[in-house]
Structure 1
């Protein structure tokens, strides 16, 4: 039976490695120094973000009003707070109404501060249409902010959505304006 002596290294490589470890000065090794440097750099980046770009460092959430939808006669519905909704999302009432008329395949009109839509749509259909409009024309695809503006390029005949928070731009589909008389 062989007796193994584990206290002695059996190769010269192990001896050299052991000498290197013993010759190192006691204290902080390179891994600890790198981690401390990384933590300091990360903390500095976070502080600079908070200082210079408040909207990106602290996310804000804006709640929109629920649409107030009522029956208006046998075959019409009325969206009472339509103008307030358009002001909240910073869009023209004509653009928003045209989107809804095209999407729902119906006609309507803007009266006072409300939108009157022909047809028998339910409030859930209107809310689903609002979500589609917000995703396509209002919400920034980069930072998910509602603080955007819609600019029409006359030469190219396209709409450009520009985010005021992150300055991102993207093109959005143009609306087909129907020549039907709105009543």
Structure 2
């Protein structure tokens, strides 16, 4: 009577599984089938969106031009492409400039298509404030589109941002201006 039988493999299940894998004919594996199904489903969803709701089917990503910041002496900076930036995001020049003056804690003026800020700041600081402004006052919270507008609700006296793509609405905070007006 033998205690150990070396003629049989120890784990018969593993051997059978390996034989099944080797015996399979080469073909399409499961990952490739899943990818093909995903691509088909994605095309189908895009096709349905285009048939029923065209604005949601088209990509809405828009690249904004970087701010062109120049130094004007030791205590002032010039944002050269300020008015085109405001036009690109569909906001009033006065509203955007007041936001930047409040956030930077300084004063300034608009000269032609430029914004003059009476303090020295880096372009990264301005870019950070642009991102904050876009997040608060421009980007739709649902579809992340730039195609929004701000209107004042007469009854509640709140400012409401409405998206032109998905028709979502949200309230936005008022800007407090130094002469006690609010935009």
Q: Same fold (TM over 0.5)?
A: yes
Taking the aligned partners of 2:93 and 2:73, their CA distance within structure 1 comes to 23
Taking the aligned partners of 2:93 and 2:46, their CA distance within structure 1 comes to 40
Q: Does 1:98 align with 2:98?
A: yes
Taking the aligned partners of 1:46 and 1:68, their CA distance within structure 2 comes to 38
- In structure 2, what is the equivalent of residue 62 of structure 1? 62
Structure 1 unmatched runs, 5+: 1-41
Cα RMSD (Å): 2.2
Q: How far is 1:155 from its partner?
A: 4.6
Taking the aligned partners of 2:149 and 2:76, their CA distance within structure 1 comes to 31
- In structure 2, what is the equivalent of residue 157 of structure 1? 157
- In structure 1, what is the equivalent of residue 29 of structure 2? none
Q: What secondary structure sits across from 2:98 in the alignment? A: helix
Distance 1:44 1:84, change over 3 A: closer
- In structure 2, what is the equivalent of residue 35 of structure 1? none
Taking the aligned partners of 1:106 and 1:155, their CA distance within structure 2 comes to 33
TM-score normalized by the length of structure 1: 0.71
Matches for 1:13-52 after TM superposition, within 5 Å: 47-52=47-52
CA deviations 1:50-89 (Å, max 9, x no partner) are 2121221232311111100100122000000000000000
- In structure 2, what is the equivalent of residue 147 of structure 1? 147
Q: How far is 1:154 from its partner?
A: 4.5
Distance 1:73 1:155, change over 3 A: farther
Q: How far is 1:43 from its partner?
A: 8.1
Q: Does 1:168 align with 2:162?
A: no
Taking the aligned partners of 1:93 and 1:159, their CA distance within structure 2 comes to 17
Matches for 1:67-146 after TM superposition, within 5 Å: 67-146=67-146
Q: Which has the larger radius of gyration?
A: 1
Taking the aligned partners of 1:115 and 1:156, their CA distance within structure 2 comes to 33
TM-score normalized by the length of structure 2: 0.71
Distance 1:43 1:85, change over 3 A: closer
Q: What secondary structure sits across from 2:78 in the alignment? A: strand
Structure 2 unmatched runs, 5+: 1-41
